[in-house]
Amino acid sequence: MSTPLVNPIQKRDNYVCQYCGKDGLETLDNWHDSVIDHLTPLKYGGTYDPDNLVTSCHYCNSIKGDRQFASREEAKRYVLKRREELKADYEAVRKAVRG
């Protein structure tokens, strides 16, 4: 077997989601969940320059979507706020279904 490729962006970020801190090397599931996010989306002129790329878990990446933010910190604040809101929704659904 050949050695799998190590993505230089994920290596730079130590495979840690730059939004929520999820460790992409902690488990196989986490590794599979680790993706690359474009800070400035391609549709807004973002590029593949390393400065525009960050390691993200799939969940944070889907929350951020193709929104544009003034800075990485602003994007992180948005993602973490939405995670909290979605967590409340999740807990309400879980309680309604499972008691």
Here the tokens at position 1 are 């077997």
- Tell me which of 17, 54, 63, 75 binds Zn ion, using CB under 5 A: 17
Q: Where are the alpha helices (H) located in the chain, listed in sequence order?
A: 8-12, 28-32, 58-64, 72-98
Under the binding rule (CB under 5 A), the answer on residue 15 touching Zn ion is: no
Under the binding rule (CB under 5 A), the answer on residue 35 touching Zn ion is: no
Q: Residue 15 or 19: which CB sits closer to Zn ion?
A: 19
Site size for Zn ion (CB under 5 A): 6
Under the binding rule (CB under 5 A), the answer on residue 57 touching Zn ion is: yes
Q: Residue 46 or 80: which CB sits closer to Zn ion?
A: 80
CA distance 18 to 74: 12
* Cβ atoms within 10 Å, residue 5: 6
CA distance 10 to 35: 8
- Using CB under 5 A, list all residues that contact Zn ion: 17, 19-20, 22, 57, 60
